[in-house]
Chain A
Amino acid sequence: MELAKSRPLRVVYAGVLILWAVFTLFPLWWTVVTAFKTQSAVTGATPTFLPWIDFDPTLEPMRRIFVETEGYGVSGMGNLRKLAMNSLIAALCSGLLAVLLGTSAAYALSRFQYQRWKNRDIAFWLISQRMFPPIALVVPYFILFNFLDILDTQLALILVYTGMNLPLIVWLLRDYFRDLPVELEEASMVDGSTRYGAFFRIALPLALPGLVVAFLFAFVFAWNEFLFALTLTFEEAKTLPVQIAGNVALTGPRYWDIAAQGLVVMVPPLIVALLTGRYIIRGLTLGAVKY
């Protein structure tokens, strides 16, 4: 929809876009360059912005957080590989479990008419789960997991993250199934296949791209999550964000290393952002805005 717009308005709009792009990208740029500075470049009198021009980039911080992890354990930087592994396992397993459960529920809500509780009521009940402040769940989780003796295990995080992502996945995939033609499934059922057959052989393959997007979202939200990981893990199952947040307490902000860790933890979400593109807004608005 391109309309004749006045010239001053166009100039204002262009200005807004440029300013916002600078505002958005500068902090990211700062994290990237800081991750490749030496300690003295970070603590120098004036900030430096451009590698090779006003400072010499170095791989020292990257080497320290990946290679010298053993020695760094004492100063609080932790074992990055183990932490990344913990984050990865929690995010992958919870993402898969949530997609497994959520797909069938989404299919049910898009294909069946429920009588006692209407589909819409069930859907809103599901999404209301996502509205509660996590702090309200932290306390009962802590006590229950303590009772079950699974505090500080990956199982605890997987269980929690699955529940956290399930409502979103059902909502996203419900939309996705709705947009698929039901005629194919009907035809296969007329030909004698059961509902399960129609689901597994026809709907599921067609919905595969949707499942992938839903999984990627669940993965990122679990990967990024902090409060549950902070309260429910201590050492063995500790994730990257908890370690990064804890750095400052022990050593003061060693920005040169923290920026490197920050960059590492940012990479998977950035890849997902590139892969999912337009779906992001649909996902984050729970489908209120369709794209």
Chain B
Amino acid sequence: MAGPVAVQTARVAPVAKGHRLERSARFVFLVPTVAYLLLLGIFPLLFSLYLVFGSWQAGTKDISWVGLDNIRRLIEQDRFWNSLTLTITFVALVTAVELLLGTLVALSLQSAVRSRNWLRLAYTMPMLLPPIAVSYTWRMLFDFNRGPINYFLGLVGIEPVRWLAGQKSAVIAVMIADIWQWTPFIALGVLAALESLPAELYEAAVVDGASAGSLLRDITLPLLQPYIVALVALRAIDAFKIFDLVYVLTGGGPGTATEFLGYYGYVVGFRPFNMGFTASVAWAMVILMSIIFFIFLRVFRRIEQEA
């Protein structure tokens, strides 16, 4: 994609009198954005890395150096390790379920010719909704006494479940809400990829007498693979950041049963006010997420090169 543009710009560049202006324009156009992100992205991030080794109290304006204290405390806290395991499990499970359901929905959508546009629109809606409003919606649905979920379970003879009060059921409740909001991301992403696959391949295979099953297995899935990896990486990065849903739905509870890393970092930093400690939790997350991001990066470059 960059190829043809590059050739054409190279042709434009030496155009006679505007040469110096053209050269300065290259920077005038780009510098404001880069400067903005250095100032509000990179600088705060480095500052928070410094805070990992510091302590800051409101009221005072000074940061005191505490060396490795924050990191040592973090490593010694069971609560941190629980939160880490919980978060990784959560990300792995919701991403896997969303991938499976999403791919299934995408394949189904592809087969729906007439209703595809309407369904696509309906499925899109949850993704753009404010997470806080979505969280309250699910809180109402999961309500023990008056929630419709327990009501429907009752109709088929299942005892009402204390969704948000149980150690395991609270985690499941958060997962269901996340799956509701974000499966469409995978579904519509895969559908878009499906629609971009070359039809000739299928026609040729059908002529050769391939079955529906082998079309899926031998053509569709291998061609989709890079897209799926990119979608999964993006979804996983986002799932790692889960905060809003927990804040409203469970408040991290019962106990610390749904205390995911983002929420844990917030609670330890803003309730007893220990910013250095929050910075340490945040940096643990930065490191984890960078790993996923690099996977995404490699796959994305491959997609771009093929396109």
CB distance from A141 to the nearest CB of B (A): 6
* B80 proximal to A (CB < 8 A): no
Q: A30-B137, A245-B132, A253-B139 are in contact. Are A132 and B286 (CB under 8 A)?
A: yes
Inter-chain contact B269/A25, CB cutoff 8 Å: no
Inter-chain contact A136/B123, CB cutoff 8 Å: no
Residues of B within 8 A of A196 (CB): 21, 25
Cβ 8 A contact of A285, one of B136, B139, B231, B301: B231
Cβ 8 A contact of A28, one of B17, B125, B234: B125
Number of residues on chain A facing chain B (CB within 8 A): 121
Residues of B within 8 A of A284 (CB): 127, 185, 189, 234
Residues of A within 8 A of B22 (CB): 194-195
Residues of B within 8 A of A155 (CB): none
Inter-chain contact B121/A262, CB cutoff 8 Å: no
Inter-chain contact A2/B231, CB cutoff 8 Å: no
* B74 proximal to A (CB < 8 A): no
Inter-chain contact A291/B147, CB cutoff 8 Å: no
* B34 proximal to A (CB < 8 A): yes
Cβ 8 A contact of B262, one of A135, A199, A262, A270: A135
CB distance from B198 to the nearest CB of A (A): 9
* A50 proximal to B (CB < 8 A): no
Cβ 8 A contact of B266, one of A21, A160, A227: A227
Cβ 8 A contact of A131, one of B183, B278, B289, B303: B289
Instruction: Return the CB mask of A1-30 against B: 1 if under 8 Å, else 0.
Output: 111111001101110110011011111101
Q: Which secondary structure characterizes the binding site on chain B? A: helix
Instruction: Return the CB mask of B102-118 against A: 1 if under 8 Å, else 0.
Output: 00110111111101000
Residues of B within 8 A of A132 (CB): 41, 45, 286, 289
Inter-chain contact B29/A112, CB cutoff 8 Å: yes
Residues of B within 8 A of A129 (CB): 37, 41-42
What residue of chain A has the Cβ atom nearest to residue B151's Cβ? A47
Inter-chain contact A288/B300, CB cutoff 8 Å: yes
What residue of chain B has the Cβ atom nearest to residue A12's Cβ? B108
Q: How many angstroms from the CA of A21 to the CA of B25 in the assembled complex?
A: 50
Q: How many angstroms from the CA of A10 to the CA of B107 in the assembled complex?
A: 10
Residues of A within 8 A of B230 (CB): 285, 288-289
Question: Which residues of A from 235 to 274 have beta carbons under 8 Å from B?
Answer: 240-241, 244-245, 248, 253, 255, 258-259, 262-263, 265-266, 269-270, 272-274
Q: Which secondary structure characterizes the binding site on chain A? A: helix
Inter-chain contact B119/A136, CB cutoff 8 Å: no
Q: A16-B104, A140-B47, A190-B15 are in contact. Are A270 and B129 (CB under 8 A)?
A: yes
CB distance from B72 to the nearest CB of A (A): 19
CB distance from B244 to the nearest CB of A (A): 5
Q: How many angstroms from the CA of A183 to the CA of B296 in the assembled complex?
A: 34
Inter-chain contact A226/B26, CB cutoff 8 Å: no
* B158 proximal to A (CB < 8 A): no
Binds B, one of A56-64, A75-83, A103-111: A103-111
Residues of B within 8 A of A190 (CB): 15
Instruction: Return the CB mask of B1-14 against A: 1 if under 8 Å, else 0.
Output: 11001101111100
Residues of A within 8 A of B204 (CB): none
- Having A194-B22, A199-B29, A255-B140, one finds 5 other A-B pairs with CB under 8 Å, namely A27-B134, A47-B147, A280-B128, A281-B124, A290-B196
What are 15 inter-chain pairs, A to B, with CB distance below 8 A?
A: A3-B206, A3-B212, A9-B111, A13-B111, A21-B122, A23-B180, A24-B184, A105-B29, A105-B32, A132-B289, A162-B36, A189-B15, A245-B135, A284-B127, A288-B234
A-B pairs, 4 with minimum CB distance: A108-B29, A105-B33, A136-B282, A140-B44
